Amino acid sequence: MRKPCCEKEGTNKGAWSKQEDQKLIDYIKAHGEGCWRSLPKAAGLHRCGKSCRLRWINYLRPDIKRGNFEQDEEDLIIKLHALLGNRWSLIAGRLPGRTDNEVKNYWNSHIRKKLIKMGIDPNNHRLNQIIPRPNPQNDCVSAAATSSGSMSNISACTKAPIKSSREIDQRASQATSVLEDETSGSSSRDLNLDLTIAFPNPPLLVGKEMQKNIKGSFTMAREIETNLQNSPTLALFR
């Protein structure tokens, strides 16, 4: 049996109060991010260490960027998701000030639906067989398919005739992917997305740390390269 991450009894759950936030901020300002397990006690918080970590990383960190995602951020998320799948922390790592949780929520509540409306399976980024019928008022599919720019035009498609997210999910599950047929079409080839990925500027590292970091970057690079070769979405974007 695995030990619980912390004592369940006597720990607060649910939304954080202003006072709790302040205690956490004050403590980290004074002592830095240290051992999350012992932090709550030291900071005088009746919270699980994991909860403190999440609160700090997702909301209290001073470098957090709040507010709506910009179009270029959205484009980048789509590209990175095509490469990396649901690896939210890696994706968030390429978006300064954004957290994995935020990116994940944004994907699930916004981007995923937009892709489905466009007839793209958000799981594998392939064009589906069941494509929403062209709508004279708002022909998203054709607009997207003929675009020679980024995915920016997706935002123009928010008034597609699908009513609910349940319906969207249904379409997604019914849909059959037909990569070879669809992606070999000329319309997709027009999309010209810059997929160059630069690794984040690492902090100045020395010795062992640096070796580890370099090793990690190579592993990631290799993985991305493999994905580039195999990813249907990127065939779509090429």
Partner DNA sequence: AAGTTAATCAACCGCTTTTTC
Partner DNA sequence: AGAAAAAGCGGTTGATTAACT
Residues near DNA, by CB under 7 A: 2-3, 5, 12-16, 34-38, 47-51, 53-55, 58-59, 86-90, 100-102, 104-106, 108-110, 113, 164-166, 212
Report the distance separating Cα 169 and Cα 180, nearest Å.
23
In the bound complex, what is the minimum distance in angstroms from residue 136's beta carbon to DNA?
21
Distances (CA, A) of 49 to 6, 24, 46, 99, 169: 7, 11, 9, 18, 35
Q: Which is nearer to DNA, 130 or 159 (CB)?
A: 159
Whichever of 87 and 238 has its CB closer to DNA, that residue is 87
Least CB distance to DNA at residue 36 (A) = 4
Distance, CA of 126 to CA of 120 (rounded, Å) = 5
Q: Which is nearer to DNA, 55 or 79 (CB)?
A: 55
Minimal distance in Å, beta carbon 40 to DNA? 10
| Nearest distance, CB of residue 112 and DNA, angstroms | 9
Comparing CA positions, the residue from 141, 168, 172 lying closest to residue 157 is: 141
For the chain, the residue count is 238
Cβ proximity to DNA: between 191 and 197 the closer is 197
